[in-house]
Amino acid sequence: MPLTNSQYESILRNYEERQTKNRHLLDARINQVYKQVDGYQALDSSVASVSVEYGRRMLTGDEDVLPALKAKLREMSEKKKQLLVSAGFPADYLEPIYDCADCKDTGYINGEKCHCFKQQMISILYEQSNIHEMLKTENFSNLSYEYYSGEDLNSFNRAVDVSKSFIQSFDKDYDNLLFFGTVGCGKSFLSSCIAKELIETGHSIIYFSSIGLFEFLSRYSFDYKNKENLYNAFEDLYNCDLVIIDDLGTEVTNSFVTSQLFSCLNERHIRKKSTIISTNLSLEELRDRYSDRIFSRITSNYTVCRLSGPDIRLKKLFKTTNNTL
């Protein structure tokens, strides 16, 4: 699913704005240091004159000049850091500033799109504004055990531990998660917690409600005039770091849904790309609604977490209502 020219240009403009912003920030820091740190500006200016001097020696055929120049520049660099630290600044205060240190705010690493570029593409193409708004409240900083007790609390504790382990080992181990259980008991919340942590570490995430996923797939699958878009749409779906399918079972299930769900899960499994599914269906209902192949794929390759308890959304609603009366 390719970007339009305007969308692509928008991302490139964003990188230009980052570079300009960080360049201005660095210039402001340099001016601050020049004013507050005695001797720093003079030492900084002498770097150019030293380079010119050694360059002249190099032209005369002096073979020892390059190692000597490198040693001299290292010495001057250390002196500048000492001046900064003595004045109460961090030693790296005047190092280049980047929003993404991996690509240095260019969007590319060795000719390939950086993870930050890919996430911007996904945010545009899959209209991620909804999940980003959701993640402001649905994250580990708002995790609460207030509404759980007994076995429900034990199940939720285990699901939280599984979620944190999934995040910690995400780059080392291939795993998938299935959260299933009663309505409103924290399945979608934990999926969002995981999404937020992984997005913040530069991973590409695609989030779909189950209904939204199959509407998306049907829109591209039956657009026979645009085969390139169809190919790219599926490649993005199969190759992004994590796909979250929320509320599986709320869609109208038919042969198209079943075949597309299997293709998605199977392709991602083959490519060792992780998937998280949340559903209100029991395992028996999951098996009866979808094919044996899908049920086997999930139960064989997913860490399964059953959650139970009251509908927390309703509990919070009643609590808020009572507090305003």
In tens, the pLDDT along 266-297 reads: 999 999 999 999 999 999 999 999 989 999 99
Amino acid found at 206: I
Measured between alpha carbons, how far apart are the two ends of the chain, in Å? 50
Tally of residues, the chain: 325
The pLDDT of 249-264, averaged and rounded, is: 92
* Range of the structural domain that residue 191 is part of: 126-324
Q: Are residues 131 and 272 in the same domain?
A: yes
Q: Are residues 77 and 136 in the same domain?
A: no
Confidence tier at 4 by pLDDT (50, 70, 90): low
Judged against a pLDDT cut of 50, whether residue 92 lies above it is answered with yes
Judged against a pLDDT cut of 60, whether residue 128 lies above it is answered with no
Return the pLDDT at 73. Answer: 82
Structure tokens at 177: 């998660």
Return the pLDDT at 323. Answer: 56
Q: How many CB atoms lie within 10 A of CB 292?
A: 8
User: What is the number of domains present in the chain?
Assistant: 2
Judged against a pLDDT cut of 80, whether residue 301 lies above it is answered with yes
Judged against a pLDDT cut of 60, whether residue 262 lies above it is answered with yes
The pLDDT of 121-138, averaged and rounded, is: 68
Judged against a pLDDT cut of 80, whether residue 255 lies above it is answered with yes
CATH value at residue 209: 3.40.50.300
Amino acid found at 113: K
pLDDT in tens, 141-191: 999 888 889 999 999 999 999 999 999 999 999 999 999 998 888 999 999
Q: 255: burial class by Cβ within 10 Å (0-12, 13-18, 19+)? A: exposed
Confidence tier at 129 by pLDDT (50, 70, 90): very low
pLDDT in tens, 202-233: 788 888 999 988 988 887 777 666 666 666 67
Distance from chain centroid for Cα 13: 21
Structure tokens at 258: 């079943």
Return the pLDDT at 250. Answer: 94
Distance from chain centroid for Cα 127: 15
DSSP character string of 162-197: HHHHHHHTTTTS---EEEEESTTSSHHHHHHHHHHH
Q: Are residues 276 and 140 in the same domain?
A: yes
CA 201-234-256 angle, to 5 degrees, is: 125
Please give the residue that has the higher pLDDT: either 64 or 303: 303
Torsions phi, psi for 12 (to 5 deg): -65, -40
Final residue in a domain of this structure, among 71, 86, 101 = 86
Q: Are residues 151 and 278 in the same domain?
A: yes
State the average pLDDT for the chain: 86
Q: Is 127 left (phi over 0), alpha (psi -120 to 50) or beta?
A: left
Q: For residue 97, which of 11, 27, 167, 159 has the smallest C-alpha distance? A: 27
Q: Are residues 25 and 163 in the same domain?
A: no
Give the C-alpha separation, 210 to 56, whole Å.
Answer: 69
Judged against a pLDDT cut of 60, whether residue 1 lies above it is answered with no
Q: Are residues 233 and 134 in the same domain?
A: yes
